[in-house]
Amino acid sequence: MGRKRKSRQLEIWMNGEHVGFWRISASGEHGLGYSESWLSSPLARPISLSLPLQPPDALHRGSVVQLFFENLLPDNPDIRGRIQQRFSVGSRSAFDLLTEIGRDCVGALQLVSEEADSPTVKGIEGIVVEEEDIAALLREVYSPGLAGDQRHDAFRISIAGAQEKTALLLHNGSWHIPRGTTPTTHILKLPLGDVGRQRIDLSDSVTNEWLCSRILRAYGERTAESSILRFEDQEVLAVERFDRSLSQDGSWIIRHVQEDMCQVFGVSPEAKYESEGGPGIESIMDVLRGSANARRDRRSFFRTQILFWLLAAIDGHAKNFSIRIGPRGAYSSTPFYDVLSAWPVIGRGARKIALQDARMAMSVKGKSRHYRWDHIHRRHWQSTAKLCGFESEIDKVIDEIIEQTPAVLGQVRQNLPCGFSPRIAHSILAGVKKAAERLG
């Protein structure tokens, strides 16, 4: 006879307060329960809109629990495999991986074993790292590392997404590897390189993403703070985490609760695209009706969908939109992030995308759904807006974008840093100009 399986459990903490637990029963069922102390706390809030607060004896059960935690991890199986090998984890399951790296997740959650002491959050502890140390760390991101490596043992983070990245703590002007329960403050994103079966060349993704962020800001949208940095031969986009902030007295770093739209809707990271079962524009606009800043967030989200089309930002799937959750479950949109333009790779030839093959991550509606970039026209934005209860504003929003575009492009071009890639700048700025003219 085989050994009888036991239930397994991780404790959930948030900024030093016990939130509850995540349990996998002996039969393999996932369950989540909130603690009495959390429910009575003035800071109480659900960890997800899909997992509302409820009494401790009323557990959330099943796939909605499992998928929430799956979405805290990279959805790229190769990256998961490297994490598994680096920390000698028994499997690639979310529970096993987060047992090892769940102390610094996206948002505010810290996951620790039942036997572990409660995380101490009041304090900032880290090891200062110099340029050569960071360069070495970045080179190792693509390798599994050595099991038992002390640097990795002290540095266990979980960052969702499909891209190779790491994260560090920036404190008092110096970079640190955080120690203990101190969180990271910046995500360092490496170039994407060749992507997909066609080996599309996204080796300039760092400059591409930085420029897209600046364009969105020039149009008036909120984006994550970012800068292009070089550590020896390693170029990265350093993105300031908006799920972290320094406490008022400067003595510790506060984690803020946030979740992406896959978590909001309780869907798998594998279903992040609308065409694969994920949420689309209409569904997300409906969720944003409940935002504490509903008018702002709905207008900004819809407006940004049009700006994504201008940018040919074809990877704007559900994991690239998030909300922050406040006390008692009040929520609002976070700044936009992970925006990458396809204009530099649209064209004919090897490692390029033909324009007719460029498909948006979320469809717009006419008589049918339209994903193809070159099939989308103003009337489709109008009909989609009507479905979202946004028809009274759509023409004003479109006309505003068209009117802004010349000034936006001029401002962004004028403020490009010295040595910025002329190829990336020209292709994206020219692409936006062409799309705005078509929209009019």
Instruction: Answer yes or no: are the C-beta atoms of 346 and 356 closer than 8 Å.
Output: no
Extract the tokens encoding 3. 């050994």
Question: Which residues is 234 bridged to in the sheet?
Answer: 231
CA atoms within 13 A of residue 396's CA, in its CB half-sphere = 6
DSSP 107: S
Q: Which of 4, 5, 9, 6 is nearest to 65 (CA)?
A: 9
Extract the tokens encoding 255. 């984690």
Extract the tokens encoding 200. 């599309």
Question: Catalytic: which of 297, 315, 357, 395?
Answer: 315
Instruction: Answer yes or no: are the C-beta atoms of 318 and 278 closer than 8 Å.
Output: yes
| Integer CA distances (angstroms), 379 to 42, 370, 382, 385, in order | 47, 12, 5, 10
- Give me the helices (H) in 77-154, please: 77-86, 94-101, 131-140, 150-153
CA atoms within 13 A of residue 362's CA, in its CB half-sphere = 27
Amino acid at 280: G
Active site residue 315: yes
Centre a 10 Å sphere on the Cβ of residue 8 and count the other Cβ atoms it contains.
15
- How far apart are alpha carbons 136 and 125 in whole angstroms? 21
- How far apart are alpha carbons 11 and 233 in whole angstroms? 40
- How far apart are alpha carbons 284 and 270 in whole angstroms? 18
φ/ψ (deg, to 5) at 24: -115, 120
What residues are labeled active site? Answer: 315
